[in-house]
Structure 1
């Protein structure tokens, strides 16, 4: 047995479980994957099987949060459709084994880029990588949830009204320091919600450059990852969320605001949106509301990360430094609706 990184369960217990399911082997390695603020994730090698394990974090969690069962259900539904997701292997509900429920999926080889600037990619490929991200998002949204067994995966309709209510309540319930900008943004969103157009798709909830794997040599998405926040929702919520990169700076969770996009080989925001719209021609237009909503929601997520850090059960080691980003993202949301910066 070989281990690396901080493991929050007994590896011998997992090895015994794998032995029951896959047979006996001398080759077992377990590696904690760094990064991520939510569900602890591990690379698991057992014999010839190369897998990824995702589990809930130890300790108290909010009701409905860290829903690894929902993640697994989405993978199971989407994998046969051709949407790029890892192949699911099994889901284990009983928390007695590893302390929380968990699931296993195939490990997919590919490239990961932590932020929108794509610093580790060749400049000549960067625009193509962003266009591939738009293509993968459109492919995901083109799937009809009721045709793949996900018709009851969430409540259809009035998505933004429900989401703004949910995240506003989460913000109001936090014991963090006041953030007046977040209060202002919340109020604006409630007052400027577009009329519901009835569009319903599988909404990823955290669709961005850092949550996909690209082919090792081609500008093509081979796996969409981290489905914890997924539900039935409005497709423009994901598109607006992905566009946050053009409205946040590199030190604000990897945005590209302020960079010389042409010199860096990066697309303009309108090019990315146009690519998506070419694949989804019946989509309603993307509005400042959708981008401001994304910034608001992520700001509240940052509040939650800071709250968990104070409680001692945030998954990421940098959780305490991420907390202050809540106010900065709220300010960026206000800038979007006021038009005070250009992407």
Structure 2
């Protein structure tokens, strides 16, 4: 069976399952004419499959109703992360979405039983908007390049404002959703983050395809030079422009990809934000587009918008590049298994490890 035929068969089976299982979960009692329309199930990603579709029905009163939905299913294999948990991500989005300035997709329902689709999943309302691309980099191609400098600046400012809103959340009920229940009492949030990272690093260390020595040096710095901070707030975990959907007016339509959300100082996210811009721009030989701020301007504007930076960000950019190196090393293995040539697959962790070394040099100078 060809790849296209296999994909079509997968979508047909998925549609049939949803038509049987979903009506009583979604539509009111007494409804009629339930349908699954426009189902699109792209090839599964490495952190879970995304499926787009519209569910429609007629209410008992005769009113046609439809919902545009996105299904996110936990990947059963090929993990980038050590402990995937789709339902935790749904709980995080549900908790964060109540806060002003933090726009997350509305969670419609969650299903823990793997017997339904083969893995836990959740449904959320589909958000229409434009998302800056990672591949190819939004700094080089795509709709962001077509904007004028003023619009890019406005887009970026809206993104930073959203990040500040995330970091402004401080109520314990929300933070409790993100805290690691296994963290020892009395452990500060940053140390808890580092403890989990150490476990992840040790689990992946034997599988590294690029940069084992550099990452060992980086871990020595990270474990011995952690800032003394008791700060605890929301850590997005993947805070970047490419995880934001923008409306036509360039306002923020949604913040997504909360798979690695946790708690800690906001510098964890800000370091990731700075590192990822460099990863998608200067590391690829590009120059930032007019209207896109450099690192110094990003930090300055973050502060102007109300964000707090208590310490030098050098440590946190090393931390970010280290985490990205673990992810991309794992990604390289999975891409090769999927048929991509090894040279191209290794280019992703190579760029990340190069950033680690660059940040280490800057930190020690």
**TM over 0.5, yes or no?**
yes
3-state secondary structure, aligned to 2:88:
helix
Q: Which is greater in Rg?
A: 2
- Distance (Å, rounded) in 1 between the aligned partners of 2:36 and 2:193: 48
How far residue 210 of structure 1 moved from its aligned partner, in angstroms, is 1.2
3-state secondary structure, aligned to 1:172:
helix
Residue 231 of structure 1 aligns with which residue?
Answer: 262
Structure 2 CA distance for partners of 1:152 and 1:65, relative to 1, 3 Å: closer
Residue 146 of structure 1 aligns with which residue?
Answer: 172
2:92–2:178: 8 Å Cα contact kept in structure 1? no
2:80–2:331: 8 Å Cα contact kept in structure 1? no
- Distance (Å, rounded) in 1 between the aligned partners of 2:205 and 2:223: 15
Deviations 1:195-248 (A, max 9, x none): 2x111112111111111111222x321211111111122211111101014432
| Residue from 317, 325, 328 that aligns with 2:348 | 325
Structure 2 CA distance for partners of 1:318 and 1:146, relative to 1, 3 Å: farther
How far residue 60 of structure 1 moved from its aligned partner, in angstroms, is 6.7
Q: Which has the higher contact order (CA 8 A, sep 6+)?
A: 1
Query: Is structure 2 residue 33 aligned with structure 1 residue 15?
Result: no
Residue 32 of structure 1 aligns with which residue?
Answer: 41
| Residue from 187, 208, 213 that aligns with 1:180 | 213
1:78–1:85: 8 Å Cα contact kept in structure 2? yes
TM-score, structure 1 length as denominator? 0.84
How far residue 18 of structure 1 moved from its aligned partner, in angstroms, is 1.9
Structure 2 CA distance for partners of 1:270 and 1:175, relative to 1, 3 Å: closer
| Residue from 25, 35, 57 that aligns with 2:75 | 57
What are the ranges of 5 or more consecutive residues in structure 2 without an aligned counterpart? Answer: 1-5, 57-65
How far residue 111 of structure 1 moved from its aligned partner, in angstroms, is 1.2
- Distance (Å, rounded) in 2 between the aligned partners of 1:35 and 1:275: 37
Deviations 1:259-304 (A, max 9, x none): 443x633212111111222234543134211011101101101122
Deviations 1:296-327 (A, max 9, x none): 10110112223444666xxxx86974444223
Query: Is structure 2 residue 301 aligned with structure 1 residue 297?
Result: no
1:181–1:327: 8 Å Cα contact kept in structure 2? no
- Distance (Å, rounded) in 2 between the aligned partners of 1:6 and 1:267: 46
3-state secondary structure, aligned to 2:22:
helix
- Distance (Å, rounded) in 1 between the aligned partners of 2:78 and 2:44: 20
Residue 190 of structure 1 aligns with which residue?
Answer: 223
3-state secondary structure, aligned to 2:239:
coil
1:145–1:202: 8 Å Cα contact kept in structure 2? no
Query: Is structure 2 residue 54 aligned with structure 1 residue 45?
Result: yes
Query: Is structure 2 residue 247 aligned with structure 1 residue 215?
Result: yes
| Residue from 88, 96, 111 that aligns with 2:115 | 96
Residue 195 of structure 2 aligns with which residue?
Answer: 162
| Residue from 68, 71, 78 that aligns with 2:86 | 68
When the two structures are aligned, how many residues end up with a matched partner?
327
How far residue 59 of structure 1 moved from its aligned partner, in angstroms, is 3.4
3-state secondary structure, aligned to 2:75:
coil
How far residue 45 of structure 1 moved from its aligned partner, in angstroms, is 0.7
- Distance (Å, rounded) in 1 between the aligned partners of 2:197 and 2:315: 12
Residue 123 of structure 1 aligns with which residue?
Answer: 149
Residue 171 of structure 1 aligns with which residue?
Answer: 204
What are the ranges of 5 or more consecutive residues in structure 1 without an aligned counterpart? Answer: none
